[in-house]
Amino acid sequence: MAFQCCSILGKVSLTLGLVLFYYCFSIGITFYNKWLLKVWEWRSYGRLIMSCYTSHPRVILPWKDYLKKVAPTALATALHIGLSNWSFLYISVSLYTMTKSSAVLFILFFSLVFKLEKMRPALILVVLLISGDLFMFTFKSTQFDTGGFLLVLVASGLCGVRWTLTQLLMQKAELGLQNPIDTMFHLQPVMFLSLFPLFIGIEVSYKDKGILHHHESKNRGKNK
C-alpha cells in the first residue's frame, strides 16, 4: 500500500514538474523570438553554421508523401491558428482561455481514434472534469457570443487534429521529419497558402467597414 502511494505521488510530482517545465519554456520562447527577430542580425549565418555543424542535408519529401501526409497537418495547424485569432474579435480573453482548454478533449479523442492512446478510466475522468468545467464557466456568461464561441471551439477541435497528426508525422522514421526544424520547414508553405485567403477576406471586409464608417462620420459632420 505504501509503495503504491509512493508510486502515485511520484507520477503526480513528475506531471507537475513537466507542466511547470512547459510553461517556463512557453513564456521564455516569447522573449527569445523577440530577441532573435529584432536584436540579433545574423540569422542567416546562424542557420548556415547549424547546417554545417549537424552535417545533415535538408530533408525533401516527394510530392506524393507531402500532399498525403504533410498537407493535412499543415492545413489543420493553419486553421487552428487563424480561427483562434479570429475569435478574439467576438469574445473576451477569459472565455477564450476556458473554451480553448477543451482542446485537451479533442487531443484525447483523436489520439484514441488514431490509436496513440488506449482507453483508460483516468482518461474518461479527465474528459468529464474538463467538460463540466467548460460548461459551468460558459453557462449564462454575460459576455457570451455564439459566433466567437463556435470559432474557438472549432479551433480547439482542429488543435486536436493538429497535434495528433504532428505526432504521427514525426514518429514515422521513413519520412525523416523527427527534427522539429524539418517539420516546420515542410509545414510552413501549406500553412501560408491556407491562411492567406482567410487573411484577405477578413482584412478586406474590415477595411470596407472602416471606409464606410469614415464616410458616414464625414457626412454627419457636413450636415451639422
Task: Quick: pLDDT tens for 105-143.
Answer: 888 888 888 888 888 887 778 777 777 776 676 666 556
Quick one: which of 84, 72, 83 has its CA closest to 166?
72
Taking alpha carbons only, the member of 60, 53, 49 closest to residue 177 is 60
Residue 75 confidence (pLDDT): 92
The mean pLDDT of 88-105, rounded to a whole number, is: 78
Closest among 138, 154, 173, 152 to 84, alpha carbons compared: 152
pLDDT, tens digit (0-9, with 9 covering 90-100), for 143-160: 677 888 888 889 989 988
Query: What sign does the dihedral 39-41-44-46 (CA atoms) show?
Result: negative
Spatial separation of the C-alpha atoms in residues 163 and 80, rounded to whole Å? 11
Q: Where are the domains of the chain?
A: 1-41, 59-223
Higher pLDDT, 47 or 74: 74
Q: What is the pLDDT of residue 214?
A: 47
- CA–CA separation, 140 and 90 (whole Å): 16
CB 125 within 8 A of CB 180: no
pLDDT in tens, 49-65: 666 665 666 677 778 88
